């Protein structure tokens, strides 16, 4: 009885495994885990690289591998507003609140997403900007709105700022198993923690994935100013006002003409 | 050369911001105004969030008007009694204005109110100044002496009780209209994020008949007092004053203001008023067009306040 149960359990366990023995492994890493915002920061690139691990037992593939990397920045609620004409002037007439959308979202892939996997899979795995959930506040509820022009505007405006992007050819394979991708961080990139989710596809199926993360921080003088302004508002304000008066006084001495 | 602004959260070209400081400083020194109504739109135009722009401009205006005030003080062109009386009214006005500001923001209509007040105020004030100055110029062409102070043309509010002699300005009027003017300036300043010098100068000239000799210096003293306190208030309440941005602006601003003040002394009063009127009118019309013309993008996004 006991050995039979053990065998049954082992069998059940083997069948429940998502990946068969001998499947590919995925190793990915970043060149930089701490992006420092200093006074000369004008944007930066973080390079993602990785390799597909194969061994003798790995099944032979007839097609090449595909990689989709999704980089998600810290979340913050946003309001998208639309202007309408009221009495001849253009004013904000309607608005939607998006609950905690990513402040940065980049989807980098080795081919267009449709060429990598089916639309069904894309939806299920939330691949690409179109399939990323961006829930809205509806009355007191939070939910996803289909075909919403406000959602489209949010994605477009964030895209114009370089904060949302979908790059179908950003991941390049250096060898059949070694790949790299450049994550572009624009100057206005929000500070905080970023997650990097790398998915490996073959024949339209997800076969492995790997998570990593990096952090964007302000350092040195920038950090000092931000901390002072946030934690010691009164002191910061008085110091700034005194700085203004001092500058004005210095100028009146320097430019004195008598 | 690019520098990253810590509070505004974006890099800007130091020389561009510096040049903007000099240009606005020149204008402010010349006309005796803070220049906030010019600087705030310029900063928004280069991509700085409106709230940070308004808060940091107050600091810039404080520096710029302080150096101007010192220059006028040395020439005995400041009426300190008048400035302090205006300030007393201004404090009450600012407090009321900040209250309305908070209420409008809660209603999501603050942007519209700010834009509309810019259009209405700047267009009306600009048009009035241009007409008045043009009349004065035509009068002087016709060989008549420009009458700035018309004796006997006292309005009813000059005779109200609590009369006070403002020695340096050589006027003897009730403090009530002075306090009311201070109140209006403080109120409008809090709503629009401006010092209000461009409103104060004509009000002092036309309503109180303050001579041109002391009006600019007095306005500068009032502006630096209100803007220095506004800097502290902004820093305490919403932590949006960008000291780095303010420093670049103010260094440019004080340099420009010195040259502007000297240039202003050489230009005749009515021409100065005409140029300032045209400038105010132009900014007002610019805001007006923005409201009337179909915007290139109907949508805009805004980060929610209070979120981390």
Query: DSSP characters for B69-89?
Result: HHHHHHTT---HHHHHHHHHH
CA distance B192 to B125: 15
Q: What angle do CA B206, B257, B243 make, to 5 degrees?
A: 110
Checking if the pLDDT of B213 tops 90, the result is no
Instruction: Work out the average pLDDT over A10-19.
Output: 45
Considering the domain boundaries, does residue A70 fall inside one?
yes
Picking from A132, A169, A170, the residue whose alpha carbon sits closest to that of residue A154 is: A132
* Angle, in degrees to the nearest 10, between helices B212-237 and B175-192: 50
Provide the pLDDT for residue A231: 86
How many angstroms separate the Cα of B76 from the Cα of each of A178, B254, B291?
Answer: 77, 20, 44
Instruction: Work out the average pLDDT over A216-223.
Output: 83
Distance from CA of A162 to the nearest CA of B (A): 13
Q: Are residues A179 and A253 in the same domain?
A: no
User: Does residue A182 contact residue A45 with C-beta atoms inside 8 Å?
Assistant: yes
Q: Give a three-class secondary structure readout of B128-185.
A: HHHHHHHHHHHHHHCCCCCCCCCCCCCCHHHHCCCEEEECCCCEEEEHHHHHHHHHHH
- Give the B window 58-77 contacts with A, CB below 8 Å: 59-60, 62-71, 74
**Run of H or E residues at B98:** helix B80-106
3-class secondary-structure state, position B221: helix
Residues in A touching B60 (Cβ below 8 Å)? 244
Mean of all residue pLDDT scores within chain B: 81
Q: Do A83 and B295 touch (CB under 8 A)?
A: yes
Residues in B touching A227 (Cβ below 8 Å)? none
Residues in B touching A233 (Cβ below 8 Å)? 235-237, 239
Considering the domain boundaries, does residue A160 fall inside one?
yes
Residues in B touching A190 (Cβ below 8 Å)? 9
Q: Do B247 and A252 touch (CB under 8 A)?
A: no
**Residue B211: both structure tokens together:** 């001579």
Checking if the pLDDT of A195 tops 90, the result is yes
Provide the pLDDT for residue A16: 43
Residues in A touching B17 (Cβ below 8 Å)? none
Provide the pLDDT for residue A10: 46
B290 → chain A, closest CA residue: A90
**A252 CB-near residues (< 8 Å, 6+ apart):** B67, B70, B71, B254, B258
Q: Do A229 and B237 touch (CB under 8 A)?
A: no
3-class secondary-structure state, position A58: coil
* A95 touches B at CB < 8 Å: yes
CA distance A217 to B152: 67
Q: pLDDT tens-digit profile of A77-114? A: 888 888 888 888 888 888 888 988 999 999 999 999 89
Residue B225, judged by CB atoms within 10 A of its CB (0-12, 13-18, 19+), counts as: buried
Count of domains observed in chain A: 2
3-class secondary-structure state, position B188: helix
**Run of H or E residues at B67:** helix B50-74
Q: What are phi and psi of A74, to 5 degrees?
A: -60, 150
Q: Are residues A162 and A52 in the same domain?
A: yes
Considering the domain boundaries, does residue A11 fall inside one?
no
The residue with greater pLDDT, B302 or A4, is: B302
Length of chain A: 258
Q: Do B291 and A258 touch (CB under 8 A)?
A: no
Q: Residue A164: which pLDDT band, with cuts at 50, 70 and 90? A: very high
B63 → chain A, closest CA residue: A244
Give percent of chain B with pLDDT exceeding 70: 90
Provide the pLDDT for residue B108: 65
Q: If you average pLDDT over each of A191-195, B113-117, B138-142, B231-235, which comes out highest?
A: A191-195
pTM: 0.73
Q: Residue B305: which pLDDT band, with cuts at 50, 70 and 90? A: low
Substitution target from B36, B243, B255, B260 for chain A, most A beta carbons within 10 A: B243
CA distance A134 to A145: 8
CA distance B195 to B192: 9
**Residue A122: both structure tokens together:** 């894309």
User: Does residue B83 contact residue B214 with C-beta atoms inside 8 Å?
Assistant: no
Checking if the pLDDT of A5 tops 60, the result is no
DSSP one-letter string for A115-175: HHS-HHHHHHTT-SGGGS---EEETTEEE--TT-HHHHHHHHHHHHTTSEEEETT-EEESS
Provide the pLDDT for residue B125: 83
A232 → chain B, closest CA residue: B236
Q: Are residues A92 and A152 in the same domain?
A: yes
Q: Do A237 and B231 touch (CB under 8 A)?
A: yes
**How many Cα atoms within 13 Å fall on the side-chain side of residue B123?**
12
Mean of all residue pLDDT scores within chain A: 84
Q: Are residues A161 and A212 in the same domain?
A: yes
Q: pLDDT tens-digit profile of B147-178? A: 555 544 566 667 676 777 777 777 777 888 88
Q: Residue A257: which pLDDT band, with cuts at 50, 70 and 90? A: low
DSSP β-bridge partners for residue A180: A49, A172
Residues in A touching B231 (Cβ below 8 Å)? 237, 240-241, 244
Provide the pLDDT for residue A15: 43
Provide the pLDDT for residue A56: 72
Provide the pLDDT for residue A13: 43
Q: Are residues A173 and A161 in the same domain?
A: yes
CA distance A57 to A24: 9
Q: Are residues A223 and A212 in the same domain?
A: no
Q: Residue B240: which pLDDT band, with cuts at 50, 70 and 90? A: confident
Q: Are residues A224 and A198 in the same domain?
A: no
A153 → chain B, closest CA residue: B299
Q: Residue A194: which pLDDT band, with cuts at 50, 70 and 90? A: very high
Checking if the pLDDT of B252 tops 50, the result is yes
Q: Do A241 and B6 touch (CB under 8 A)?
A: no
Checking if the pLDDT of B306 tops 60, the result is no
Checking if the pLDDT of B229 tops 50, the result is yes
Q: Are residues A148 and A176 in the same domain?
A: yes
Provide the pLDDT for residue A74: 92
Q: pLDDT tens-digit profile of B92-138? A: 888 788 778 777 776 666 777 777 887 888 898 889 889 988 888 88
Q: Residue A166: which pLDDT band, with cuts at 50, 70 and 90? A: very high
A84 → chain B, closest CA residue: B298
**Residue A213: both structure tokens together:** 């993360």
CA distance A243 to B64: 12
Provide the pLDDT for residue B193: 67
Checking if the pLDDT of A1 tops 60, the result is no
Residues in B touching A81 (Cβ below 8 Å)? 299-302
Q: Are residues A231 and A188 in the same domain?
A: no
Provide the pLDDT for residue B144: 63
Considering the domain boundaries, does residue A248 fall inside one?
yes
Which one of A80, A83, A236 has the shortest CB-CB distance to B301? A80
Q: Are residues A80 and A198 in the same domain?
A: yes
CA distance B23 to B254: 10
Instruction: Work out the average pLDDT over A141-151.
Output: 83
Q: Do A248 and B111 touch (CB under 8 A)?
A: no
Q: Phi/psi zone of residue B68: left (φ > 0), alpha (ψ -120 to 50 degrees), beta? A: alpha
Q: Do B299 and A80 touch (CB under 8 A)?
A: yes
Checking if the pLDDT of B285 tops 70, the result is yes
Q: Are residues A241 and A211 in the same domain?
A: no
Containing structural domain, residue A46: 22-217
- Give the A window 229-248 contacts with B, CB below 8 Å: 229-230, 233-234, 236-241, 243-245, 247-248
The CATH number covering residue A103 comes to 2.60.40.3880
Distance from CA of B126 to the nearest CA of A (A): 21
Which one of A78, A79, A251 has the shortest CB-CB distance to B254? A251
Q: Are residues A124 and A208 in the same domain?
A: yes
């Amino acid at each position: 009885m006991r050995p039979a149960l053990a065998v049954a359990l082992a069998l059940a366990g083997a069948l429940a495994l998502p990946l068969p023995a001998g499947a590919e492994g995925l190793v990915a890493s970043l060149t930089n885990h701490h992006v420092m915002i200093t006074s000369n920061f004008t944007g930066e690139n973080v390079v993602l690289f990785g390799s597909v691990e194969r061994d003798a037992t790995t099944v032979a593939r007839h097609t090449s591998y595909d990689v989709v990397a999704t980089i998600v920045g810290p979340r913050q609620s946003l309001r998208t507003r639309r202007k309408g004409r009221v009495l001849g002037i253009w004013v904000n007439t309607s608005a939607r609140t998006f609950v905690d959308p990513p402040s940065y979202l980049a989807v980098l892939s080795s081919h267009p997403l449709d060429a990598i996997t089916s639309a069904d899979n894309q939806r299920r795995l939330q691949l690409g900007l179109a399939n990323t959930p961006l829930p809205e506040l509806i009355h007191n509820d939070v939910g996803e709105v289909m075909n919403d022009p406000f959602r489209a505007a949010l994605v477009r405006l964030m895209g114009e700022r370089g904060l949302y992007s979908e790059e179908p050819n950003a991941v390049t394979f250096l060898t059949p198993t070694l790949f790299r991708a450049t994550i572009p961080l624009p100057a206005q990139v929000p500070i905080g923690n970023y997650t990097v989710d790398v998915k490996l596809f073959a024949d339209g199926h997800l076969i492995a994935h790997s998570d990593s993360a990096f952090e964007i921080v302000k350092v040195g003088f920038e950090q000092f100013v931000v901390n002072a302004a946030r934690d010691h508002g009164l002191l910061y304000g008085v110091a700034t006002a005194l700085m203004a008066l001092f500058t004005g006084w210095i100028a009146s001495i320097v430019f004195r003409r008598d | 050369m690019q520098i990253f602004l810590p509070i505004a959260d974006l890099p800007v070209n130091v020389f561009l911001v510096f040049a903007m400081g000099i240009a606005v400083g020149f204008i402010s020194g010349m006309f005796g105004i803070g220049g906030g109504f010019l600087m705030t739109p310029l900063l928004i135009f280069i991509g700085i969030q409106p709230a940070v722009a308004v808060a940091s401009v107050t600091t810039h205006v404080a520096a710029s008007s302080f150096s101007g005030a010192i220059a006028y003080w040395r020439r005995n062109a400041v009426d300190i009694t008048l400035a302090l009386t205006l300030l007393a009214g201004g404090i009450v006005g600012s407090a009321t204005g900040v209250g309305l500001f908070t209420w409008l923001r809660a209603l999501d209509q603050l942007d519209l109110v700010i834009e509309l007040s810019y259009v209405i105020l700047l267009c009306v004030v600009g048009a009035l100044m241009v007409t008045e100055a043009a009349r004065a110029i035509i009068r002087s062409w016709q060989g008549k002496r420009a009458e700035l102070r018309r004796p006997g043309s006292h309005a009813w509010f000059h005779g109200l009780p609590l009369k006070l002699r403002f020695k340096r300005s050589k006027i003897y009027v009730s403090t009530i209209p002075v306090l009311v003017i201070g109140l209006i300036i403080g109120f409008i300043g809090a709503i629009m994020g401006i010092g209000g010098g461009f409103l104060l100068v004509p009000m002092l000239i036309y309503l109180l008949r303050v001579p041109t000799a002391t009006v600019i210096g007095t306005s500068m003293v009032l502006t630096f007092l209100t803007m220095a306190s506004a800097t502290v208030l902004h820093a305490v309440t919403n932590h949006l004053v960008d000291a780095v941005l303010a420093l670049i602006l103010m260094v440019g601003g004080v340099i420009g203001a010195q040259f502007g003040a000297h240039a202003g002394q050489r230009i005749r009063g009515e021409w100065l008023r005409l140029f300032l009127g045209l400038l105010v009118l132009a900014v007002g019309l610019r805001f007006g067009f923005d409201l009337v013309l179909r915007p290139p993008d109907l949508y805009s996004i805004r980060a929610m306040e209070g979120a981390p």
